[in-house]
């Protein structure tokens, strides 16, 4: 007993305790629900068996039923558009801003900090603001597009099935750009300045320096930000709840919102769990990419 105590005080035991706490927390709060979710996707769940743990095992029936539903493929397609559109927009605008602030004009860091405001805002608040901006009759976006002559009639962003998904994508790009910019700024700042001087003396102009020095040196940062972007956009729920609620007629529905809708509005917990399991596969893939790219961050 005494040996055990002294080990905990200043030996290996202390390290084990340190590791055990977060591991235990992760297992309890994330691991168990995850496993329960996977289990549930192979079970028949209804309102009456909700409280029990062992329910009738149905194999892949939930998966088969899910893909037999007509809305499944369109919603998966929406998710793909939402993820690629959001990541592309967030990354390109974020990178552009990061390069802009990298020039380091007076007040650059102050202004860059201000951009973080969008990132710390709750999704529901952002959604509410964008509801005004996107509003069909009196929205600022329509006003600007009309005045610049890009559109002739109002677009009903939230209720037109052709635009509803893009309405959420626009709001999500606005929400995530600042985060992209900050991470990319950090990546840019960690490139040693003398590399640029060496490249300049080697005859490279600004464009060549960007392609041969900046981009390759940012590879791990870009890998990390894109995989984090995938994880974050697959988690984006608030904006859908606030702006379109997945509608009209599922035209802006995505898997994460649909899973919630199935589970907690239609009480089809098995299907909800099934969709979650499919999403877990994608998120796991993104996580592996993320971990790999941050591991390679060691610079020569």
Partner 1 sequence: MTKQIELSGVNKYYGAFHALKNIELSIEKGSFVALVGPSGCGKSTLLRSLAGLESISTGDLKIAGELMNNVPPRKRDIAMVFQSYALYPHMTVEQNLTYSLRIRGVPKAEAKKAAEEVAATTGLSQLLGRYPRELSGGQRQRVAMSRAIIRHPKAFLFDEPLSNLDAALRVHMRKEIRTLHDRLGATSVYVTHDQIEAMTMADHVVVMKDGVIEQQGAPLELYDRPANRFVAGFIGSPAMNFVPAVVGEDGRSLAVDVGEKQTITLDRQLQPGRRVTAGLRPEHLHFVEPGQGVFRLPVGIVESTGSATYITTATAAEVTIVETARRPVRTGDIIDVSIRPSDVHVFDGESGLRV
Query: Where on the chain is the footprint of partner 1 (CB under 8 A)?
Result: 192, 194-195, 197-205, 208, 212-213, 216-217, 219, 298-300
Residues near 259 by beta carbon (within 8 Å), at least 6 away in sequence:
272, 273, 275, 276, 279
| 265 vs 299, beta carbon nearer partner 1 | 299
Minimum distance between the CB of residue 205 and partner 1, rounded to whole angstroms?
Answer: 7
| 122 vs 192, beta carbon nearer partner 1 | 192
Q: Is 196 exposed, middle or buried (0-12, 13-18, 19+ CB in 10 A)?
A: middle
- Enter the tokens of residue 209: 């320096």
Closest C-alpha to 244, from 186, 188, 177, 163:
163
Taking the C-alpha atoms of residue 254 and residue 276, their distance in angstroms, rounded to an integer, is 12
| 213 vs 286, beta carbon nearer partner 1 | 213
Count of H helices and E strands in the chain? 16, 0
Taking the C-alpha atoms of residue 117 and residue 7, their distance in angstroms, rounded to an integer, is 47
| 49 vs 212, beta carbon nearer partner 1 | 212
Buried b (16+ CB within 10 A) or exposed e, 94-127: bbebbeebeeeeeeeeeebeebeebbeeebeebb
| 218 vs 259, beta carbon nearer partner 1 | 218
Minimum distance between the CB of residue 300 and partner 1, rounded to whole angstroms?
Answer: 3
- Enter the tokens of residue 167: 């309405």
Taking the C-alpha atoms of residue 61 and residue 168, their distance in angstroms, rounded to an integer, is 32
Minimum distance between the CB of residue 109 and partner 1, rounded to whole angstroms?
Answer: 20
* DSSP per-residue string spanning 148-179: TTS-SS---TTT-TTTHHHHHHHHHHHHHHHH
| 46 vs 202, beta carbon nearer partner 1 | 202
Minimum distance between the CB of residue 198 and partner 1, rounded to whole angstroms?
Answer: 4
| 84 vs 294, beta carbon nearer partner 1 | 294
């Amino acid at each position: 007993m005494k040996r055990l105590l002294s080990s905990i005080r200043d030996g290996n035991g202390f390290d084990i305790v340190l590791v055990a706490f977060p591991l235990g927390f992760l297992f309890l709060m994330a691991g168990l629900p995850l496993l329960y979710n996977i289990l549930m996707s192979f079970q028949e769940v209804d309102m009456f068996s909700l409280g029990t743990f062992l329910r009738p095992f149905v194999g892949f029936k939930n998966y088969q039923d899910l893909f037999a539903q007509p809305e499944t493929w369109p919603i998966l397609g929406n998710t793909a558009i939402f993820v690629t559109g959001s990541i592309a927009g967030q990354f390109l605008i974020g990178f552009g801003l990061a390069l802009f602030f990298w020039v380091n004009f007076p007040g650059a860091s102050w202004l860059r900090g201000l951009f973080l405001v969008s990132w710390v805002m709750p999704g529901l608040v952002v959604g509410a603001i964008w509801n005004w901006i996107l509003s069909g009759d009196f929205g600022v976006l329509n006003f600007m597009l009309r005045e610049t002559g890009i559109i002739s009639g109002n677009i009903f962003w939230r209720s037109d099935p052709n635009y509803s998904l893009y309405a959420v994508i626009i709001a999500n790009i606005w929400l995530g750009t600042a985060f992209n910019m900050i991470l990319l700024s950090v990546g840019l700042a960690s490139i040693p300045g003398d590399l640029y001087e060496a490249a300049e003396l080697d005859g490279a102009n600004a464009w060549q320096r960007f392609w041969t020095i900046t981009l390759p040196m940012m590879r791990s940062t870009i890998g990390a930000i894109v995989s984090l972007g995938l994880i974050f956009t697959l988690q984006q729920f608030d904006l859908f709840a606030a702006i379109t609620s997945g509608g009209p007629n599922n035209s802006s529905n995505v898997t994460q919102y649909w899973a919630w809708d199935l589970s907690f509005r239609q009480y089809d917990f098995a299907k909800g769990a099934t969709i979650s399991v499919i999403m877990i596969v994608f998120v796991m893939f993104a996580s592996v990419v993320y971990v790999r790219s941050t591991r390679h961050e060691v610079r020569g």
